[in-house]
């Protein structure tokens, strides 16, 4: 594991590591409910044009606020989740690839001492913080206090599959769940119900204080299962049942906010961590779309993204503003009234944050501060070395896009494909050899210029290694020398 040395900003206000007072119009800052569905593309949300499903509660959420068309996640679980927690791109925080910490270990973990931490700043801004669902970037056997250190006051989590602990494979029926009381199987329970109920109880217990509620769902990730409401005899039928149950839970959470008189002062954010599994195909705007998970095609990274904020965000809006997952950290902290890094902890303020706040897009229906968004990473192209988990590629392939054009960049740092998404939204006609108009040439050169701003070499995951465990995967590569 390589060491990380931080250069701290020299001047801070006195008491910079204690709680701060935020400046937000009104009696208190808004609550934030951040819903992150697992493995679901636009082709499974009816308001976006899905034809094989109806999602009335998600559609209602969209009608109450702003629906976004150009929001990029990363193409798989780990890079997306670390990106939104840190406000950094995978090439900077190092979690370029999927690495299942409870399953593979190797000393790897999300280390809040060397990475920026969204939740720490939300708690510092006066928020009560809660997480329920899926984490998978720490092993709670090794770090039972991992979520507390990350900034959460309360938590109720599927452990992820812990190597050697067979019950931990279950996230749906008879789920294996970690709380402050430890880990255990919830016999006869359905995991999504447990997480929903935990969040609703947290709302009731903390409604007198501003709340940051992070709900990374286990739905709709495989395995395909029956839900309490429906049974099906094939994977597609089970997937549809899981999507409908996701929609049902969204509606139940909205009713809980309303019932606890919280709805009018809560910003609800709905999105997904990446596209649908490739095992599922859905009808979308007259086409059949194969799930794009683990790919940087639009179906893999351009996600459904909806924000409802009564009294602040006007209803029935759509936006083409450019946003990506690095923007979650600065936006949530901005909404909390702590946009200035002078109000952050010294550690977090010293970090490079790639994201940009889009609060003004919500309040004023303006454009975002971005000229481009980025998607990269995914797959299991990482190995354990004597120095820790390392990425296979020194420079991972990635995509850059603006509102109209999309540029694919290879692991050799060379442009390899170029698409006009306005006329070719399904990326069927590569025009990199047809830069025969001024508009095409100008946009190609602008996106290519962004490439020059990236570091020559991507970082590997940044962490101080945890102690060796008997279930750690074996070292299978020689540090640095195995890289491409």
Give per-residue pLDDT as tens, 385-414: 999 999 999 999 999 999 999 999 999 999
Question: Which residues pair with residue 283 across a beta bridge?
Answer: 288
pLDDT value of residue 16: 42
For β-strands 398-401 and 405-409, DSSP reports them as antiparallel
Give Dmax over CA atoms of the chain in angstroms: 64
Number of H helices, E strands in the chain: 13, 20
Question: Which domains are delineated in the chain?
Answer: 31-374 (3.40.720.10)
Res 24: pLDDT:
43
User: 10-residue block means of pLDDT along the chain (484 residues)?
Assistant: 37 41 62 98 98 98 98 98 98 98 98 97 97 98 98 98 98 98 98 98 98 98 98 98 99 98 98 98 98 98 98 97 98 96 92 98 93 95 98 98 98 98 98 98 98 97 98 98 98
CA 297 remoteness from chain centre? 17
Q: How many residues does the chain have?
A: 484
Q: Which residue has the tokens 């990269």?
A: 376
Whether the CB-CB separation of 289 and 52 falls below 8 Å is answered with no
Q: How far apart are CA 440 and CA 405, in angstroms?
A: 8
The residues that bridge with 375 in the sheet, in sequence order, are 399
Distance CA 214, CA 212 (A): 7
Classify 78 as helix, strand or coil: helix
Classify strands 128-134 and 182-185 as parallel, antiparallel or unpaired: unpaired
Instruction: Find the distance separating the first CA and the last CA of the chain, reported in whole Å.
Output: 19
- What average pLDDT does the chain have? 94
Tokens matching residue 370 = 């971005």
How much is the CA Rg of the chain, to the nearest whole Å? 21
Q: Is the peptide bond before 144 cis (omega within 30 degrees of 0)?
A: no
Question: Between the CA of residue 24 and those of 33, 266, 444, what are the distances in Å?
Answer: 18, 13, 41
């Amino acid at each position: 594991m390589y060491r990380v040395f931080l250069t701290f900003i020299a001047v801070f206000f006195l008491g910079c590591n204690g709680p701060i007072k935020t400046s937000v119009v009104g009696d208190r800052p808004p609550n934030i409910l951040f819903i992150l569905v697992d493995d679901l593309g636009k082709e499974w949300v009816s308001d976006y044009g899905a034809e094989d499903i109806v999602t009335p509660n998600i559609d209602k959420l969209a009608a109450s606020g702003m629906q976004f068309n150009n929001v990029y996640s990363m193409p798989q679980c780990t890079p997306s989740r670390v990106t939104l927690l840190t406000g950094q791109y995978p090439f900077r925080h190092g979690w370029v690839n999927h690495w299942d910490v409870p399953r593979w270990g190797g000393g790897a973990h999300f280390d809040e001492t060397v990475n920026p931490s969204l939740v720490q700043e939300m708690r510092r801004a006066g928020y009560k913080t809660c997480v329920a669902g899926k984490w998978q970037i720490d092993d709670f056997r090794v770090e039972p206090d991992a979520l507390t250190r990350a900034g959460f006051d309360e938590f109720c989590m599927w452990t992820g599959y812990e190597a050697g602990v067979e019950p931990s494979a279950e996230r749906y029926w008879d789920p294996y769940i970690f709380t402050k009381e430890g880990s255990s199987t919830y016999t006869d329970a359905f995991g999504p119900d447990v997480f929903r109920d935990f969040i609703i109880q947290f709302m009731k217990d903390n409604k007198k204080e501003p709340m940051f509620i992070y709900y990374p769902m286990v739905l709709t990730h495989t395995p395909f299962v029956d839900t309490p409401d429906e049974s099906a005899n094939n994977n597609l039928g089970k997937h549809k049942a899981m999507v409908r149950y996701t929609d049902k839970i969204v509606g139940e959470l909205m009713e809980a906010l309303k019932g606890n008189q919280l709805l009018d002062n809560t910003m609800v954010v709905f999105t997904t961590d990446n596209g649908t599994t490739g095992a599922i195909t859905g009808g979308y705007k007259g086409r059949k779309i194969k799930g794009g998970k683990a790919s940087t095609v639009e179906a893999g990274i351009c996600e459904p993204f909806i924000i409802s904020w009564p009294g602040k965000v006007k209803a029935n809006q759509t936006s083409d503003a450019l946003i990506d997952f690095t923007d979650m950290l600065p936006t949530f902290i901005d909404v909390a009234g702590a946009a200035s890094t002078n109000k952050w902890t010294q550690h977090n303020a010293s970090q490079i944050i790639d994201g940009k706040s889009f609060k003004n897009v919500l309040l004023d229906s303006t454009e975002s501060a971005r000229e481009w968004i980025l998607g990269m990473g995914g797959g299991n192209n990482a190995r354990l070395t004597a120095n820790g988990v390392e990425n296979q590629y020194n420079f991972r392939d990635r995509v850059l896009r603006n509102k109209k054009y999309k540029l694919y960049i290879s692991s050799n740092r060379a442009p390899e494909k170029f698409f006009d998404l306005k006329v070719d939204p399904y990326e069927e006609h590569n025009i990199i050899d047809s830069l025969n108009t001024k508009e095409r040439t100008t946009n190609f050169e602008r996106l290519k210029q962004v490439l020059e701003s990236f570091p020559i070499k991507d970082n590997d995951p940044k962490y101080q290694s945890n102690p060796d465990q008997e279930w750690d995967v074996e070292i299978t590569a020689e540090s640095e020398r195995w890289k491409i």
